[in-house]
Structure 1
Amino acid sequence: MERKKAIVTGASRGIGRGIALCLAREGYDLAVSYATQEESAVSLAKEAEERYGVRCHYFQASLEQPGEGVKLFERCAEALGGVDLLVNNAGVTRFENLLDLTPETFHLLVELDFKNYILMMQAAARHMVEHRVRGSLINITSSRGERAYPGDFLYGGLKAGLNRAIQSIALDLAPYGIRVNNVAPGATRVREKGELQQGDGMDFWEELGARIPLERAGVPEDIGEAVAFLASERAGYITGITLRVDGGLILPGMPEHLEETAAPEGWGRTESAFAKEVLETDN
């Protein structure tokens, strides 16, 4: 049986790499893009091919440049011999107060984090309609599309815009059997341990993870598993959703406990008398 074919943008490291490897495990031939990390892209391709026996092509693309996304799609589709799945992952995170926003930041985020996603979805959808492919489009957004933080009005606003946009796009493409969904990561370890540390040497992600309801930061494979599921036939009746994968990060509201004995997570954990009794009995 012919293997399915997927494009993953921004896959040389971090979340994109996790997505690409999960899809390779599921048997997809891949075409991935990178902006500057060619060595990492070569490493990814080698790992995907050696571990899972799939083909993995890699292409450099500066997707913030007008027209580059569509050119990339055409190169990937030609190399793969078709496309069943597009994963828009490449993006950049910038936080600026409204009072400090520069035209350069505004242009970069709009072009890369929103416009390129839309135009690549259009290119992929046209390809799928033309070739009668009942395919899937998946975008990586962010939990910041649902929860506001200081300084993220532009980044979070664009992610929120994508969350809303795909609802209408899903309706546009449903008659052709094309499903459209988003995955919204929360705090995800996108650098190797030690690359981001606090001044006291503590691992940043471990410290942050303790404040998340499921008590750990996410890893790229968490996002990859969500993408693999949404792209599969198991999710064949799902379209137009944004699946948040954040360990419960944004579920709590404002902290309600101000006492010194309050939980260090800030939002405060409730204690179950039932659970306490059961756990003490086990001990």
Structure 2
Amino acid sequence: MRKKAIVTGASRGIGRGIIRELAAAGYDIAFSYRTREDEAKEAAEEIRNMGSFAWYAKADMAQAGEGEKFFDQAVRELGGLDLLVNNAGVTVFQSILDLEMEETQKMLNLDLLNYLVLSSKAARYMKAHEVKGCIINITSSRAERAYPGDCVYGGIKAAVNRASQSMALDLAPYGIRVNCVAPGAICIRTPEEIKAEGRTELEGFWESLGERIPMGRNGTPKDIGRAVVFLASENAAYITGEVLRVDGGLILPGMPEKVENDKNAWGGEK
């Protein structure tokens, strides 16, 4: 029997990478999007062309009740549930000196409260139907390493990591596993897309950043999708309450103090 997954925020970027890898692993998928229906339709067609069932719906999960409504319909469309991936979120960086309550509340609603609400609904469904399923929360390496301007975003991601540990304890007796995937620097746009969007401030940014990461490149949505597939698989059947950081070693040493012209940031030849 094919397994069934709900993934929030999957019309592009990391979410789309996740549903691609899940489809390749044999999952049927229901996913949400917030603004770009054209991208959601394209993502669904891609999944269907891979031989998987795909259903999608628009949902602004920062609004009370939207996530629950989407979840209930998604379970009906799938006819069951084996995996929930909480991915939908917003990233806003602001100094504590410039804290704006509207943006702060939006991040709390979307990046924390919605994760908790959907995790609760998924857990109750799995328990009631005796499904030994999985919940995977997408967090961030910023939950472990502080940067200027990320007191709210990084703090929320740290809260999700910690909350997931307690969820894992609550749900272990029912065979339900809860883990997190923490991306580092994940490039979700090609240089061509950056140029087409007129994001001149990003031109060359990702290439420069990639050279300073120990593995010598930025992460990709596919990297995160593969991590999700692993944690949801029988290969990870004895793993729960863990955070799998997928960052190419980004936060291990911090950024190097000195870079020689003929070498990359970690001493190897360019």
> TM-score per shorter chain, which class?
over 0.9
Supply the AA of the counterpart residue of 2:5.
A
Task: Give the CA deviation at 1:69.
Answer: 1.1
Quick one: which amino acid aligns to residue 70 of structure 1?
A: E
User: For the residues of structure 1 that align with 2:8 and 2:122, how far apart are their CA atoms?
Assistant: 13
- Change in Cα spacing, 1:253 to 1:205, as seen in structure 2 (3 Å) is closer
Q: In 2 relative to 1, CA 22–33 (structure 1 residues): closer, same or farther, beyond 3 Å?
A: same
- Corresponding residue number in structure 2 for 1:48: 47
Tell me what 2:131 maps to: 133
TM superposition shift of 1:191: 1.7
CA deviation vs aligned residue, 1:77-109 (integer Å, no higher than 9, x gap):
000001000000000000011111111011100
- In the alignment, which residue of structure 1 is the partner of 2:229? 228
For the aligned residue pairs, the C-alpha RMSD in angstroms reads 2.0
Q: Does 1:151 align with 2:164?
A: no
Name the structure 1 match of 2:179. Answer: 181
Shift of 1:196: 3.4
Report the secondary structure of 2:160's partner residue.
Answer: helix
Change in 2 beyond 3 A, CA 1:199/1:121: closer
One-letter amino acid of the counterpart of residue 34, structure 1:
Y
Counterpart of 1:281 in structure 2 is: none
| Cα separation, 1, equivalents of 2:97 and 2:217 | 34
- The aligned amino acid for 1:168 is S
The sequence identity of aligned pairs, in percent, is 57
- Residue type matched to 2:29 in 1? L
After superposition, the C-alpha distances for 1:160-196 in whole angstroms (9 at most, x for unaligned) are 0111111111000000000000000000011232333
Gaps of 5+ in 2: none
Structure 1: state its 5+ residue gaps. 277-283
Inter-CA distance 175–150: structure 2 relative to 1 (3 Å threshold)? same
* Mapping for residues 205-244 of structure 1, pairs under 5 Å: 205-244=206-245
CA distance in 1, matches of 2:53, 2:204: 35
- The equivalent position to 1:92 in structure 2, one of 90, 93, 106, is 90
Q: Are the counterparts in 1 of residues 212 and 255 from structure 2 also a CA contact under 8 Å? A: no
Q: Quick one: distance in 2 between partners of 1:57 and 1:202?
A: 35
Moved more, 109-118 or 66-75: 66-75
Kindly indicate whether the alpha-carbon contact (under 8 Å) linking 1:263 and 1:269 is maintained by their aligned counterparts in 2. no
Give the TM-score normalised by structure 1.
Answer: 0.89
Per-residue deviation at 1:256?
A: 4.8
Partner of 1:280: none
Corresponding residue for residue 17 of structure 2:
18
Between stretches 175-184 and 203-212, larger displacement belongs to 203-212
Structure 1 runs of 4+ with >4 Å offset: 197-202, 254-257, 260-265
On the 8 A contact 1:196/1:203 being kept in 2, the answer is: no
Residue 60 of structure 1 corresponds to: 58
Q: Distance in 1 between matches of 2:126 and 2:69?
A: 16
* Residue in structure 1 matched with residue 254 of structure 2 by the alignment: 253
Alignment of 1:97-108 (within 5 A): 97-108=95-106
Deviation at 1:70, TM superposition (A): 1.2
Which piece of structure 1 moves more, 204-213 or 188-197?
188-197
